[in-house]
Structure 1
Amino acid sequence: MLWTDVLIYFVLGLGLGTLGGLFGIGGGLIAIPVLGVFFGLDQHLAQGTALVMVVPNVLLAIWRYNQRNRIAWRQAAALSLPAFFMAWGGATVAANLPGTLMRYGFVLFLLALAAYNGWRLYRPVAGVSERVPTTSQLGVLGFCSGISGGLFGVGAAVVATPALTSIFGLSQVVAQGLSLAMALPTTSVALATFAAHGQVAWITGLALAAGGLLSISWGVRIAHALPDRLLRSLFCGFLVVCAIGLSLR
């Protein structure tokens, strides 16, 4: 790989890291369609490579979110344990599925998330009172989120975040912090699984990660400065753009 290629991936990582910090997702959801559509990586390689960037970005984002709004670590642990095991199983299945099937499944996953978030954003509701989720409720959410995190390399956080805001009334920022804490073990085990199957372009992923680590704090700062409703609107639009980009490949 040429140094110019490394520089391109580094600059791309800067943009992806900002989005990852803004939406609490590590940047992987947009990295996967970008790597597939513009750089010609197949679905498996795109997902595995994106994870190289996502894992350190998520770790840094957790630190930044915890600095600004303390994460409830007991709740995060209740989410993370079942998510970890389901992510391992989901990643093992994903590594052996046909690439085309994986790509279309990923597109449908993004569209479903966008539809749900859009419906939540514009439906007339009286509001949901904030309440503390029980350990069993968090375990069920972690179970479901872990499956998506394993199958698609990313996704655990984008499943957990809307559930935490709509069902338990948590603010978007608090929900994103909890979801990030759960995403770290799920993305780590998914990366290890994809790497074991030879489905990671390490140099590309490390260049993306370097750019992302420099910029993710910007996204976190912006997230805490934006109104909650605007942040949710941007999150919904972000999912639609990702789905369209990947489906056009």
Structure 2
Amino acid sequence: MFLLLIISALIIGASLGLLGAGGSILTVPVLLFIMGLDEKQAIASSFIIIALISSVGGLKSLHQRMLNIKTLLWFALASFPLSAIGAYLGAIMPDGFQTQILIIVMFIAAAVMLSKRKPQPGREVKVKYILVAGCVSGLITGLVGVGGGFIIVPALVIFAGLSMSFATATSLALVTVNAVAAFAGLLITNELPVIDWTVVIGMSVTGALAVIGGRGFAAKLPDKIIKKGFAILLLMIAVITQVMIFI
């Protein structure tokens, strides 16, 4: 079980480092079905794991001067409060609802990654669309414990005019913001469940090492192949998660 946890954390961290998205969406299924946590524990734990892993990638991006600070602030302005609200709404939902929403989100994320459309960076920052994307990614993060990077990266490319490399780098910082806000929402509303810190620290440390490696390879590996492979993995996990619920 510990070996599976380490392998899962490596995949999560590497994906976040390479794409600025995708890896965090695997965290909840790993915590549910490999570590045996209940739904509320898995989602709350994922906020901490996602925040720690993404923050390491975000700091590396900052060191590389690849963060677009102005766009990051606009996006964070919208996503931060919605992440906290989403976390509270998720905490009071009946058991099973959040996992079903997560499965739908996984299918959508896979479809986005498999899309053949290649968004071209724009010339003008469209703030209103950035704010909308920030609200959506924040709400999804809070509800089901994912980072929202699969929404953030395309939005940064299309509406903020960032290159793919700058979009993935900035996404890591925004995923951190979303996860921290969601965790804070649970903490403030006294809806935080018991956290298994051994699992959280183990996944976070392993994932943090992987995200550093992922950032190093981000410019060297074919983006198309990485996205396609990860999309297929997402589809498989979504189907397996749905089957496990019915069993």
TM-score normalised to structure 1 length: 0.84
- State the distance in 1 between where 2:228 and 2:161 align: 17
Give SS of 1:224's match: coil
Q: Which amino acid aligns with 1:80?
A: A
Name the counterpart of 2:9: 13
Deviates more, 1:128-137 or 1:139-148: 128-137
- State the distance in 2 between where 1:54 and 1:18 align: 12
Name the counterpart of 2:32: 36
Give SS of 2:96's match: helix
- Of the candidates 168, 191, 195, which is equivalent to residue 183 of structure 2? 191
Displacement of 1:193 in angstroms is: 3.2
- Of the candidates 109, 113, 129, which is equivalent to residue 113 of structure 1? 109
Name the counterpart of 1:210: 205
Q: Which amino acid aligns with 1:97?
A: M
Name the counterpart of 1:177: 169
With over 3 angstroms needed to count, the CA separation of the structure-2 counterparts of 1:162 and 1:232, relative to structure 1, is farther
Name the counterpart of 1:226: 221
- State the distance in 2 between where 1:232 and 1:131 align: 25
Give SS of 2:219's match: helix
Alpha-carbon contact 2:51-2:176 (below 8 Å) kept: yes
Q: Within 5 Å, which residues of 2 pair with 1:39-50? A: 39-50=35-46
Displacement of 1:168 in angstroms is: 5.7
Alpha-carbon contact 1:51-1:205 (below 8 Å) kept: no
Once the two structures are superposed, residues 119-176 of structure 1 have per-residue CA deviations (whole angstroms, 9 ceiling, x without a partner) of x32x5x7x63532323333222211211111111214222111233355664433222
Displacement of 1:234 in angstroms is: 3.5
Q: Which amino acid aligns with 1:87?
A: S
- Of the candidates 96, 103, 107, which is equivalent to residue 92 of structure 2? 96
- State the distance in 1 between where 2:236 and 2:156 align: 23
Displacement of 1:239 in angstroms is: 2.9
Structure 2: where are the runs of 5+ without partners? none
With over 3 angstroms needed to count, the CA separation of the structure-2 counterparts of 1:170 and 1:248, relative to structure 1, is farther
With over 3 angstroms needed to count, the CA separation of the structure-2 counterparts of 1:226 and 1:150, relative to structure 1, is same
* Aligned-residue identity in percent: 24
Alpha-carbon contact 1:78-1:139 (below 8 Å) kept: yes
* Counterpart check, 1:156 vs 2:152: no
Displacement of 1:244 in angstroms is: 2.6
Give SS of 2:146's match: coil
Once the two structures are superposed, residues 193-232 of structure 1 have per-residue CA deviations (whole angstroms, 9 ceiling, x without a partner) of 3454232322211121122222221111222212333343
Give SS of 2:123's match: coil
Once the two structures are superposed, residues 28-61 of structure 1 have per-residue CA deviations (whole angstroms, 9 ceiling, x without a partner) of 2112111212222222211111222211111111
